[in-house]
Chains A and B, each alone.
Chain A
Amino acid sequence: MATWKGKTRGGLTGYKIFVTVLKYSGLPSAYFLLRFVALYFFLFNPRSFSIIFRFYRKRFGYGFFKSVLSVYSNYYRFGQVLLDRIAVMAGFNARFNFTFEGEHYLRKMVEDKTGGLLISGHTGNFEMAGYMLERLKTEINVIMFDAEHEKIKEYLSTVADRNYRIIVIRDDNSHIFEINNALSNKQIVCIHGDRFLKGSKKMKSEFFGEDAFFPTGPFYMAMKFNVPVSFVFAMKEKKNSYHFFASPPKYYQQEGQQSKRDQTILKIIKEYICEMEKTVRKYPTQWFNYYNFWDKDDK
């Protein structure tokens, strides 16, 4: 079964080096250094290489060489996204331009005091969205797994601040009550809709032409919490610019009894997939799920 293990690659020393470069030389120097680090991963991480290579070959139908080049571009892009995030969080001298599409939908959630559930994915820069949403002047909650390396977390917390609240996904499901609490207080909650850990409930749906599993939790909450739901993505464009996209918000309601809930969840998942596929097709180098995402790929 294709699942995400909950950890992102990269060692503490690597983070320290990049933070030092960012602090004293700025983003362009860090991007330059990143070229070599991306090359290292490109050459010496065969498992991840084959997964992303297959993604370009099978999902985009790229030829061999274009797929190889796209793997490198993907790694480089991923590194840029991480560096941008640290630069913004730490308040280093990095200026970004943000463009917004559908921001008025989110403003309306704030003005109407409805709160809202924003579902995103591991494409583009989810955490940057948290910063971009600061201008909504409301409390933003971001739901995250808490399986990153402790030392990296500790280190990043010493150099960088977040302007949004993190709700950690926990085995005891207490995060569900925290999410409900935030939504009851008419706040904005951002959650990923594309990853799940082993043992989580999931549903199969077609994505890029083949079946893939998606977590049911975010979509079930979308159906149950009776708040407007929007699919959002923050995508890196040229050097220092990001484009934020939000789909028109919708209210979802369970159709029929509890036993029919799966039909409604699947309907929401399909709508989410449609938006995510459109986004990934537009920004092919910003697909950051480095594990076998498609059911067949794992067999």
Chain B
Amino acid sequence: MTRENIVKTINGLLIEEFEIDEKLITPEAHLKNDLGLESLDFVDIAVIVQKEFGLTLKGEEMTSIRTLQNLYDYIEKCIQKK
């Protein structure tokens, strides 16, 4: 799984499932403040990441994830560790 695939999958989720405007989706975008993700949306993120990447994200590690860039980096790191 390449970085490009990770970005594509996550962005696809944001556009298709959450109907977020593509223009808002930048690596620096804050998940809550800029993309308007709510608590329920994090349930979807957990499910999609598990389904697409076979990863179960850890709560304590997710506390430091604020932006899309953080999320891409974290998923990439987890995949490399696998």
Contacts and interface: CB of A to CB of B under 8 A. Distances in A.
Interface string A132-174: 0000000000000000000000000000000000010010111
Interface in A186-235: 200-201, 216-217, 220-221, 224-225
Contact of B47 (A180, A200, A217): A180
A178 B60 CA distance: 8
Nearest to A220: B40
Given A172-B63, A258-B19, A177 B44 contact: no
Given A224-B47, A225-B47, A258-B17, A177 B40 contact: no
Interface of A: 167, 170, 172-178, 180-181, 184, 200-201, 216-217, 220-221, 224-225, 258-259
Interface of B: 17-19, 38-40, 42-44, 46-47, 50, 56-60, 62-63
A173 B56 contact: no
Which 7 A-B residue pairings sit nearest by Cβ, starting from the closest? A178-B59, A174-B59, A180-B46, A177-B59, A173-B42, A177-B57, A184-B56
Contacts of B46: 176-177, 180
A173 B39 contact: yes
Q: Considering residues A167, A180, A259, which has the most beta carbons from chain B within 10 angstroms of its beta carbon?
A: A180
A26 to B, nearest CB: 39
Contacts of A200: 39
A52 to B, nearest CB: 30
B18 A258 contact: yes
B19 A180 contact: no
